Structure 1
Amino acid sequence: MEQKEIRFRKQRDLGVIISDSFDFLKQESQALLRMIGIYVLPFIVLYAGAQVYFQRNVLSQFDLSNPESLMADIGPFYLNLFMFMFFGLFVQSLLVGTYYSYLEAYIKHGKGNFKLADISPNFFSNSFLALGANLIFVIIVFFGAMMFIVPGLYFANTLSLIVFILIFEKKGIGDAMSRSWKLVNSSWWNTLLLNLIALIIVYVVGLVLSIPSMIMGISSTIFSSEMTNPTDYPNWFWVLNGISSVVTTTLLIIPFTFQAFQYFNLSERNDPTTTPTQQK
């Protein structure tokens, strides 16, 4: 079947956004997998290894039943946790910056009118833009979550488009935040539902991949008189955990795609004069 160019710049309802997102990912899967495999996958694998290390060597040594040991280990624990979370944020920013560089070229130049070599210089610059935006996003959502969770959810949804806006419009983080605020609040619940659906898809895939880990944990509890220490789990258990982390991290391009389509949908509905109705 001949593939057609998918036009981003138009109004869509929620169902069409989801179907068009998967159509786009399916059509561009070879180019996207090649791009991610070359530029992002090594960092994703490193992140998966860091995750396995954190679970196996840090959490397993954190004795919640011993208050004295707990207080002695709390500093190193939080340091490891902070470094792990920051590295995860960096990897996510690298993925979204690279992926949105591809989307930017696809939208502006059209399908088949560019090569990866033409846009690869933009990957790291856009990734650092994404990292700055994600840091601000996390800080705002964190302080919002401290105010009884609901404000954190509101900020997370309202600012969910800032990375795409920052990379695509290139008008600075302040403009991206105000633009995301304006667009999302014009259809807040629709955007929330779209974000939740995307995250549920990624979560379900991760849950399926974690079934062997769940079986291992259940069997160790049932058939052992004492709780098995995670460091005693076989190597294949940790390999599967690492593979699950690689897959679920890569699948974050699903919510990233939903958000890109939602940006153009809301932009066309709210300010069609600033976004051409026809893709060049």
Structure 2
Amino acid sequence: MSNVELAKPRDFGEIINDTFIFVRQNFKPLLKYFFIFCGFFLLATTATSILNQINMIRRVNNFNPNSFDADNRFGPFLVFTPTYFLAMFFVILEYVSISVVVLSFMALYKVKQNQVPDTEEMWGYFKFYFLKALGSSFVIGLLVIVGSIFCLIPGIYLYPVMSLVLPIMIIENTSFGYAFNHSFRLIKDNWWSTFGVLVVVIIILSVASMIVTIPSAIIGAGSIFLHFTKGTTISVTAVIITTILQQFIHVLNILIIVATCLCYFNLTESKEGTSMLERINKFGTANPESDVTPEQY
């Protein structure tokens, strides 16, 4: 089977199918770069999540309804603690790093004419785009949250539109402002197809994640049952095991990012025919790649 060509129009089924084909063909390098560039954030997310869960267990186990001091009254219900915000911060960093890694891989894959990029090339893209993607993600998340608060529908509408911003920024090497405006132009008359692809992939990922979440739930329920007679809720060991298992689900984010990027290529090629124009411009040149200067970071 030949390598997947990214820049071409696709229908709904082709986007879904090519998402899995692309990931299957490039699974080893994608997984390698995932751990190289996202490994630190994965470990930090795991550690802070475990710490947050242990703090929650301690508050619940020490709760005394007959005591009226501040810690006892609000301990079990105090979710938004410093460790909670720290864990959420690393979750955001982890997701952004995964997005930058996968999108950089696909951008370089296209530039190298369907060839896997090397580590040095990936590092150049990653360090150039990470902070830009991080700042953009905060703005995008805020817009979607605000849209969801004000009657859910705006938030649902913005989700597929905003999902195109990072692919545009990284693949076209543009600013957030341009990517933001261009995402609305691309999605026009194609919102339902893009939304449908994202929903289908999310459903597939949800089903796949059950492979991990079901064992985690069994471990958690078993721990609660075994510790019930001791007057506690769940053991620290069970928290550590379930949290580590749940972190493996984050690898599946690669699929949704690849699908989103293929949606971007589909919309771009369908509306602008960028890849076709590039081929036309190369006609008559003896060595079409000889004048290309690699990007420097």
TM range, normalised to the smaller chain?
Answer: 0.7 to 0.9
Q: How does 1:86-235 map to 2 (within 5 A)?
A: 86-112=89-115, 114-219=117-222, 224=228, 228-230=232-234, 232-233=235-236, 235=237
Rounded Cα–Cα distance in structure 1 between residues aligned with 2:57 and 2:276: 52
Contact residue 60 and residue 229 of structure 1 kept, 8 A: no
Which has the larger Rg? Answer: 2
Could you say if the C-alpha distance between residues 126 and 29 of structure 1 is closer, same or farther in structure 2, counting changes exceeding 3 Å?
A: same
For the residue of structure 1 that corresponds to 2:43, the secondary structure is helix
Range with bigger deviation, 111-120 or 124-133? 111-120
Contact residue 97 and residue 126 of structure 1 kept, 8 A: yes
Question: What RMSD over aligned residues (CA atoms) do the two structures have, in Å?
Answer: 2.9
| CA deviation after TM superposition for structure 1 residue 22, in Å | 0.9
Aligned to 2:12: 14
Rounded Cα–Cα distance in structure 2 between residues aligned with 1:43 and 1:61: 27
Runs (5+) with no aligned partner, structure 1: none
Could you say if the C-alpha distance between residues 215 and 75 of structure 1 is closer, same or farther in structure 2, counting changes exceeding 3 Å?
A: closer
Rounded Cα–Cα distance in structure 1 between residues aligned with 2:231 and 2:276: 61
Contact residue 100 and residue 133 of structure 2 kept, 8 A: yes
Matching of residue 57 in structure 1 with residue 58 in structure 2 = no
Aligned to 2:246: 244
Contact residue 169 and residue 176 of structure 2 kept, 8 A: yes
Range with bigger deviation, 256-265 or 51-60? 51-60
| CA deviation after TM superposition for structure 1 residue 76, in Å | 8.1
Aligned to 1:271: 272
Contact residue 144 and residue 151 of structure 1 kept, 8 A: yes
How far does the alpha carbon of each residue in 1:195-222 deviate from its partner, in whole angstroms, 9 at most, with x for none?
1122222222322212123224444666
Rounded Cα–Cα distance in structure 1 between residues aligned with 2:58 and 2:156: 31
> 1 or 2 for the larger relative contact order (CA 8 Å, sep ≥6)?
1
Contact residue 102 and residue 119 of structure 1 kept, 8 A: yes
Contact residue 220 and residue 239 of structure 2 kept, 8 A: no
TM-score, normalised by the number of residues in structure 2: 0.81
Identity %: 23
State the aligned residue count: 274
For the residue of structure 1 that corresponds to 2:98, the secondary structure is helix
Letter in 2 for 1:11: P
List structure 1 runs of 4+ shifted beyond 3 angstroms.
62-76, 216-228, 274-280
Aligned to 1:47: 45
| CA deviation after TM superposition for structure 1 residue 167, in Å | 0.8
For the residue of structure 1 that corresponds to 2:276, the secondary structure is coil
Rounded Cα–Cα distance in structure 1 between residues aligned with 2:55 and 2:238: 16
For the residue of structure 2 that corresponds to 1:120, the secondary structure is helix
For the residue of structure 2 that corresponds to 1:252, the secondary structure is helix
Contact residue 10 and residue 266 of structure 2 kept, 8 A: yes
| CA deviation after TM superposition for structure 1 residue 78, in Å | 4.3
Letter in 2 for 1:210: T
Rounded Cα–Cα distance in structure 1 between residues aligned with 2:116 and 2:33: 16
Letter in 2 for 1:264: F
Range with bigger deviation, 65-74 or 79-88? 65-74
